[in-house]
């Protein structure tokens, strides 16, 4: 069952995009929820770069030339197939130029703070969750996979497991070439904001709003880590970007990562952005440091098997998180 | 204000691919609708494209193929406040099918979408909302497959819709269709055609349009014939003829009398449309040669870059063309 709520967050109200602090929140309650007093583990599902929370329950339609089913159908089927029942929480991560990447930014709002402080407290207060990190995980695809990494690797006392589906990673490959592609597409004109004919243009501004925001710049409050038109790297800015890159950031977060109950890396071997290399590098590094994780690959592109991989990641989280507490909740009654 | 309801359709119940007969219907009610309990409004019907649904139009701001998509209701509210369009009721029906939108035509395989729109949705809307229930105050538009659908329905039902504004409607099929089918054949060779492939839009077009233009109820599980033989690529003339009957570049001829009865015809397409602006240009040339008045517009950009703005432009255009208030003499359609 799907419930759509509105949640208000002071952490999001502070932004330079003219957005309010009020956001859609989509919550999936498993089939047994209404007829039991049980508490459930919680899986936070983060959307990708160009979509919104409100898109999850809607469907079926064609997206990326694959039938996009309603998320409740996908999760119902996973549970009917034997996966554990969990509450799935789907927040909205929209920023000024697309997805916020789920990080704190003066441009988009503080999405990390929103989730680990406001959202988790709201969900635990309003639904029968098992309100502890051991029973709380996070997953997502694309920008949402990156967000799952960012949140769990920095907040192990909030989330104890992360499943990264085709997560943005290895910025030196994909995101560097993104800038060169974008510069090539506009030269000799100067960068002047996103345009209708270029997804790249949205992503250079959107990623910059997340990784190198600069409120002093108008009308686009960002810095690019590459100089236009020479393409020369601006090391102090690119270093800030790389500090977010999973293939780099794991090193300073090793202690956090060791506290997690599980890490899943899942990616298609024909990812258009080369994210299978990012996943492989991250896996190799984690292995060398003795950090337990599971790395999966499948034949597919960035999105071609998205709705097959989401239920698999859900099932993996269900196996890793501390299971449903069967003790009845004092005072709670089935409705 | 947007109302989303679900309506049942007998015409869509008749299908072979498991399509639901209960469909979402999104309806935009203009700012003064609530406060003026007597006022009646003209209505615009907006048909969605191949990969969308009724509710796609009203979802929150998002990105798609680089375009920044805002909910249609917000665009209408702004345009009405700025007096760039009159207040209208805007009706967004659902035309989704198992293999993508079948261009809003009647199909024994996908369902009878033309009948659904012209009979069931129109009568439901006129019964439920304070519309002016007359063809002179009712127009139809749509984008891509919805552009095809608004052309198809608008050119065949002048008693229902008094104006039409197909957007990015595609056309000129002898040029447009073969590369799509051949790309699909290349993708599967040497395997056999076996339904749409996730991640391969060409395959969805082949089966989606096949369900619309050359449905074959005797051929499960996909119930369509292809206009090209696999793997030779040889044209199958009797199937191809059926597809061409849906090509706006040429099928205007037998509908000339219908077209002359419309209060207005408008087209809009991106000059860099991936499906070509040629369908619209050829159609416009034909209509001009026949002396059928129309307004053919082009904008810079591809198939989807200005999708929502072009819909707003079409609805605003309609509000100039349609009767905005009930006329005592006007016979109800």
Secondary structure of chain B in the HEC alphabet? Answer: CEEEEEEECHHHHCCCCCCCCEEEEEEECCCCCCCCCCCCECEEEEECCCCCCHHHHHCCCEEECCEEECCHHHHHHHHHHCCCCCCCEEEECCCCCECECCCCCEECCCEEHHHHHHHHHHHHHHHHCCECCCHHHEEEEEECHHHHHHHHHHHHCCCCCCEEEEECCCCCHHHHHHHHHHHHHHHHCCCCCCCCECCEHHHHHHHHHHHHHCECCCCCCCCECCCECCCCCCECHHHHHHHHCCCHHHHCHHHHHHHHCCCEEEEEEECCCCCCCHHHHHHHHHHHHCCCCCEEEEECCCCCCCHHHHHHHHHHHHHHHCCCCCCCCCCCC
Residue A334 has pLDDT above 50, yes or no: no
CA A285 to chain CA mean position, Å? 21
Summarised one tens digit per residue, pLDDT across range A38-54 is 999 999 999 999 999 99
* A301 to B199: CB separation less than 8 angstroms, yes or no: yes
CB-based contact A179:A172 (threshold 8 Å): no
Structure tokens at A205: 């501004």
pLDDT score, position B331: 52
Q: Which of B62, B63, B66 is facing A197, going by the closest CB pair?
A: B66
Q: What is the pLDDT of residue A69?
A: 86
Contact present, A84 and A324 (Cβ < 8 Å): yes
Interface probe for B, chosen from A196, A205, A309 (most Cβ of B below 10 Å), is A196
Dihedral sign (CA B295, B300, B302, B308): negative
Chain B: residues touching A (Cβ < 8 Å): 50-53, 55-56, 59-68, 96, 100, 196-201, 203-204, 272, 301-302, 305-306
* Identity of the residue in B60, B100, B305 whose CB atom sits nearest the CB atom of A62: B100
What is the pLDDT at residue A335?
A: 39
Instruction: Count A/B contacts: CB-CB distance under 8 Å.
Output: 78
Q: How far is B96 from chain A (nearest CA, A)?
A: 7
Of B50, B66, B96, the CB nearest to A198: B66
**Which residues on neighbouring strands pair with residue B43, listed in sequence order?**
B89, B138
**Residues 6 or more apart from A121 whose CB is under 8 A from it?**
none
pTM for the full predicted model: 0.90
At residue A330, the pLDDT reads 52
pLDDT surpasses 90 at A197: no
Residues 6+ apart with CB under 8 A from B307: B64, B67, B69, B143, B167, B168
How far is B2 from chain A, CA to nearest CA, in Å?
Answer: 15
- Per-residue pLDDT of A253-268, as tens digits, reads 999 999 999 999 999 9
From the list B205, B199, B197, B163, the residue with the least C-alpha distance to B181 is B205
Residue B221: asked if its preceding bond is cis (omega within 30°), the reply is: yes
Q: What is the pLDDT along chain B (333 residues), one digit of tens a residue?
A: 999 999 999 999 999 999 999 999 999 999 999 999 899 999 999 999 999 999 999 999 998 877 889 999 999 999 999 999 999 999 999 999 999 999 999 999 999 999 999 999 999 999 999 999 999 999 999 999 999 999 999 999 999 999 999 999 999 999 999 999 999 999 999 999 999 998 889 999 999 999 999 999 999 999 999 999 999 999 999 999 999 999 999 999 999 999 999 999 999 999 999 999 999 999 999 999 999 999 999 999 999 989 999 999 999 999 999 999 997 545 554
The encoded tokens of residue A32 equal 């047994």
Residue B313: name the closest of B171, B167, B169, B170 by CA: B167
CB of A94 less than 8 A from some CB of B = yes
Closest chain B residue by Cα to residue A305: B198
Nearest chain A residue to B57 by CA distance is A55
Alpha carbon of B326: minimum distance to chain A alpha carbons (Å): 37
Q: Which two tokens stand for residue A206?
A: 């959107």
Q: Which residue of B has its CA nearest to A56?
A: B59
Smallest CA-to-CA distance from A112 within A19, A210, A22 is with A210
The SS3 assignment for A165 reads strand
Q: Do A65 and B67 touch (CB under 8 A)?
A: no
d(CA A63, CA B155): 30
Task: Dump pLDDT digits (tens) for A207-244.
Answer: 999 999 999 999 999 999 999 999 999 999 999 999 99
> Are the beta carbons of A92 and B199 separated by less than 8 Å?
no
> Quick one: closest CA in B to A50, which residue?
B63
CB contact under 8 A, A195 and B66: yes
The whole-number pLDDT of residue B207 equals 97
Model pLDDT for residues A62-117, shown as the tens digit of each residue: 776 777 889 999 999 999 999 999 999 999 999 999 999 999 999 999 999 999 99
SS3 of residue A125 by DSSP: helix
A322 touching B (Cβ < 8 Å): no
Q: Is B144:B186 a contact under the CB 8 Å cutoff?
A: no
Predicted local distance difference test score (pLDDT) of residue A304: 86
Q: Which residues of chain A lie closer than 8 angstroms to B302, CB-CB? A: 197
- CB-CB neighbors (< 8 A) of A199 in chain B: 63, 65-66
First to last CA, chain B: 26
Among candidates B63, B197, B199 on the partner chain, residue whose Cβ is nearest the Cβ of A50: B63
Cβ of A177 under 8 Å from any chain B Cβ?
no
- Residue A198 contacts B, CB cutoff 8 Å: yes
> Does the pLDDT of residue A250 top 80, yes or no?
yes
Per the CB < 8 A criterion, the answer to whether A219 and A17 are in contact is no
Chain A residues within 8 A of B272 when measuring between CB atoms: 197
Average pLDDT for chain A: 94
* Cα of B300 to nearest chain A Cα, Å: 10
């Amino acid at each position: 069952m799907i419930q759509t709520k509105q949640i208000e967050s002071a952490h999001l109200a502070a932004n330079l995009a003219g957005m309010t602090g009020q956001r859609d929140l989509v919550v999936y309650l498993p089939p047994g929820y209404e007829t039991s007093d049980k508490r459930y583990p919680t899986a936070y599902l983060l959307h990708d770069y160009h979509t919104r929370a409100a898109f999850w329950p809607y469907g079926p339609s064609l997206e990326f030339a694959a039938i996009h089913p309603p998320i409740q159908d996908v999760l119902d089927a996973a549970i009917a197939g034997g996966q554990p029942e969990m509450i799935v929480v789907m927040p909205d991560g929209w920023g000024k130029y697309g997805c916020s990447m789920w990080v704190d930014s003066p441009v988009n709002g503080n999405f990390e703070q929103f989730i680990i402080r406001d959202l988790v407290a709201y969900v635990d207060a309003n639904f029968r969750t098992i309100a502890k990190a051991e029973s709380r995980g996070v997953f997502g695809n694309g920008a949402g996979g990156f967000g799952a990494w960012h949140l769990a690797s920095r907040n192990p006392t909030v989330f104890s497991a992360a499943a990264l589906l085709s997560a943005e990673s290895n910025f030196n490959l994909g995101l560097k070439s993104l800038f060169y592609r974008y510069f090539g597409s506009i030269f000799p004109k100067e960068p002047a904001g996103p345009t209708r004919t270029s997804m790249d243009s949205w992503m250079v501004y959107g990623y910059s709003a997340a990784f190198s925001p600069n409120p002093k710049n108008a009308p686009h409050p960002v810095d690019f880590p590459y100089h236009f038109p020479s393409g020369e790297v601006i090391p102090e800015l690119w270093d800030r970007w790389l500090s977010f890159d999973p293939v780099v950031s794991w090193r300073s977060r090793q202690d956090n990562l060791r506290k997690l109950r599980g890490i899943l890396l899942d990616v298609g071997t024909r990812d258009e952005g080369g994210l299978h290399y990012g996943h492989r590098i991250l896996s190799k590094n984690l292995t060398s440091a003795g950090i337990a994780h599971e790395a999966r690959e499948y034949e597919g592109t960035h999105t071609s098997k998205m709705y097959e991989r989401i239920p698999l990641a859900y099932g993996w989280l269900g196996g890793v998180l501390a299971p449903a507490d069967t003790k009845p909740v004092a005072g709670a009654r089935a409705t | 204000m947007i109302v989303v309801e679900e309506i049942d359709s007998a015409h869509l119940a008749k299908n072979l691919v498991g399509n639901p007969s209960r469909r979402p219907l999104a309806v935009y009610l203009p700012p003064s609708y609530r406060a003026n309990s007597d006022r009646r409004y003209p209505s615009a019907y907006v048909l969605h494209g191949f990969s969308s649904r009724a509710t796609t139009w009203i979802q929150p701001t998002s990105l798609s193929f680089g375009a920044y998509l805002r909910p249609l209701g917000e665009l209408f509210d702004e345009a009405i406040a700025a007096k760039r369009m009159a207040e209208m009721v805007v009706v967004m029906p659902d035309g989704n099918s198992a293999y993508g939108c079948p261009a809003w035509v009647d199909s024994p395989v996908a369902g009878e979408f033309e009948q659904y729109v012209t009979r069931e949705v129109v009568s439901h809307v006129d019964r439920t909302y304070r519309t002016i229930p007359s063809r002179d105050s009712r127009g139809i538009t749509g984008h891509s497959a919805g552009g095809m659908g608004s052309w198809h329905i608008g050119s065949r039902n002048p008693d229902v819709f008094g104006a039409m504004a197909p957007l990015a409607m595609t056309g000129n099929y002898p040029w447009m269709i073969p590369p799509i089918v051949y790309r699909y054949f290349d993708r599967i060779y040497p395997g056999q055609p076996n339904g749409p492939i996730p991640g391969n839009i060409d395959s969805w077009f082949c089966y989606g349009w096949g369900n619309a233009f050359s449905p074959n109820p005797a051929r499960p599980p996909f119930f369509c014939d292809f206009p090209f033989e696999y793997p030779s690529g040889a044209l199958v003339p009797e199937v191809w003829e059926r597809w061409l009957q849906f090509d706006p570049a040429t099928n205007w001829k037998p509908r000339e009398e219908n077209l002359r009865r419309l209060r207005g015809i408008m087209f809009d397409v991106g000059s860099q449309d991936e499906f070509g602006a040629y369908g619209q240009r050829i159609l416009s040339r034909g209509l001009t040669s026949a002396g059928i008045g129309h307004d053919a517009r082009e904008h810079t950009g591809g198939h989807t870059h200005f999708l929502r703005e072009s819909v707003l432009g079409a609805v605003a255009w309609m509000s100039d063309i349609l009767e905005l208030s009930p006329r005592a003499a006007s016979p109800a359609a």
